[in-house]
């Protein structure tokens, strides 16, 4: 007799359930070391617990797990294999358990689009949330022309989104050379046959100055990108990287990349020059405090926790609110800011150097290695 089929749920469906506020018990059966490297954290209704599968099978009863038989139990592992056996084990003991298809590898590739309020020139403003990394990219549409900002390496979610919006890509932009994930911007630009924009200061290695092997259109301070009826204006805001830019749209939105987050600022140590880049970061903060209006909506490229979300689940905040409540941005004196940076900077993941060089085209990363290289939540903000 064939073994009974274990119910499964795609990682994207699990994400949508949690994002919509459905209570889900989630049992992570990986080793503690793997759980510490990255786990599901989405939503206020997530009921999370972790126990290696081998330890669960050794329990005399499952009482210590404190699972509610009346509430679904999603079982997750690394790639969706051992979770099937564990889910079947739970079902035989009366629980409504199912296996997360593809496991944490699939969770890392989930992108949830969230539509934000349009502006006079932008009919669609979509924040694309890669929930496993806390990474945010954007699709902006004006009269059917779209600009894609800071895309991840999985291009299908963006193509699906463009089709649903009835839009055609006109340009792709990286606000900076990313270190925590492999950018999909160059591949997308080639695939869609559109320009790829990047600040020239980020087109070379910050470690030894080696020129990157990337074809790009330079995007410098004050430059504009026009599409449809809309215009993006670049503001050079170095500090997290030397070539970091923010993109201002319709005098209403500021896509800040890793320069400014809702609750922190981009760490300046990833190029190995923390103190020098921290001083540049301070200058950039001073500049925008002088020139940006308070009602500008800041749309960052990352978040670190659920506390940075608004009621609509997007990650955004008015600039005046950030200036008052963001611990780093609220510091008014340079010496105090530099001291704060020094006190709060922790060691960066070892993989970040490889990822940045890969994004520059200076090292090759096989598809099989990409998953493990960029696994886990981003650590781009000063903690």
Q: Which domains does the chain have, with CATH numbers?
A: 8-107 (3.40.250.10), 111-373 (3.60.15.10)
Instruction: Give which of 189, 137, 144 is closest to 164, Cα–Cα.
Output: 144
| Distance of alpha carbon 380 from alpha carbon 117, whole angstroms | 27
What is residue 172's three-state secondary structure?
strand
> Rounded to an integer, what distance in angstroms lies between the CA atom of residue 185 and that of residue 174?
7
Res 37: pLDDT: 94
**Which residue's entry shows tokens 């139990």?**
73
The burial class, CB within 10 Å (0-12 / 13-18 / 19+), for 79 is middle
DSSP structure string for 39-68: ----STTEEEEE--HHHHHT-S-SGGG---
How far apart CA 201 and CA 124 sit, in angstroms, is 30
Q: What is the pLDDT of residue 4?
A: 57
Please give the model's pTM, rounded to 2 decimal places: 0.96
Mean pLDDT of each 10-residue bin along the chain, 383 residues long: 74 97 97 96 96 97 95 96 97 96 97 97 98 97 98 98 98 98 97 98 97 98 98 98 98 97 97 96 97 98 96 97 96 97 95 97 93 94 93
Q: Look up residue 269 and give its DSSP letter.
A: -
For residues 268 and 278, the answer to whether their CB atoms sit within 8 Å is yes
Orientation angle between helical segments 274-291 and 334-344, nearest 10 degrees = 130
Rounded-to-integer distance, Cα 114 and Cα 132, Å: 16
């Amino acid at each position: 007799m064939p073994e009974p089929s274990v119910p499964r749920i795609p990682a994207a469906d699990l994400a949508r359930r949690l994002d919509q506020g459905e209570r889900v018990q989630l049992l992570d059966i990986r080793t503690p070391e793997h759980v510490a490297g990255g786990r599901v954290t989405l939503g206020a209704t997530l009921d999370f617990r972790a126990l290696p599968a081998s330890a669960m099978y050794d329990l005399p009863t499952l009482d210590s797990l404190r699972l509610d038989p009346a509430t679904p139990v999603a079982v997750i592992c690394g790639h969706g294999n051992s979770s099937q056996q564990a889910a079947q084990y739970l079902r035989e003991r009366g629980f409504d358990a199912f296996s997360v298809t593809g496991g944490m590898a699939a969770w890392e590739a989930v992108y949830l689009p969230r539509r934000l309020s349009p502006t006079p020139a932008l009919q669609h403003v979509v924040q694309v949330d890669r929930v496993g990394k806390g990474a945010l990219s954007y699709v902006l549409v004006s009269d059917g022309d779209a600009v894609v900002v800071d895309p991840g390496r999985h291009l299908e979610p963006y193509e699906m989104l463009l089709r649903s919006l009835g839009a055609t890509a006109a340009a792709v932009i990286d606000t900076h050379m990313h270190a925590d994930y492999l950018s999909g911007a160059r591949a997308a630009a080639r695939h869609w046959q559109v320009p790829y924009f990047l600040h020239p200061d980020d087109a070379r290695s910050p470690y030894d100055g080696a020129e990157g092997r990337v074809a790009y259109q330079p995007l410098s301070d004050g430059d504009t990108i026009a599409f449809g009826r809309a215009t993006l204006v670049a503001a050079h805001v170095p500090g997290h990287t030397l070539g970091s830019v923010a993109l201002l749209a319709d005098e209403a939105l500021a896509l800040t990349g890793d320069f400014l987050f809702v609750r922190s600022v981009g760490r300046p140590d990833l190029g190995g020059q923390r103190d020098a880049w921290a001083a540049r970061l301070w200058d950039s903060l001073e500049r925008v405090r002088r020139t940006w209006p308070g009602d500008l909506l800041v749309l960052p490229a990352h978040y670190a926790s659920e506390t940075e979300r608004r009621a609509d689940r997007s990650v955004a905040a008015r600039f005046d609110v950030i200036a008052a409540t963001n611990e780093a941005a609220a510091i008014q004196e340079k010496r105090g800011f530099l001291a704060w940076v020094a006190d709060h900077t922790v060691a960066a993941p070892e993989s970040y150097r490889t990822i940045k060089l890969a994004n520059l085209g200076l090292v090759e990363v096989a598809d099989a290695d990409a998953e493990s290289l960029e696994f886990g939540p981003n650590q781009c903000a000063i903690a």
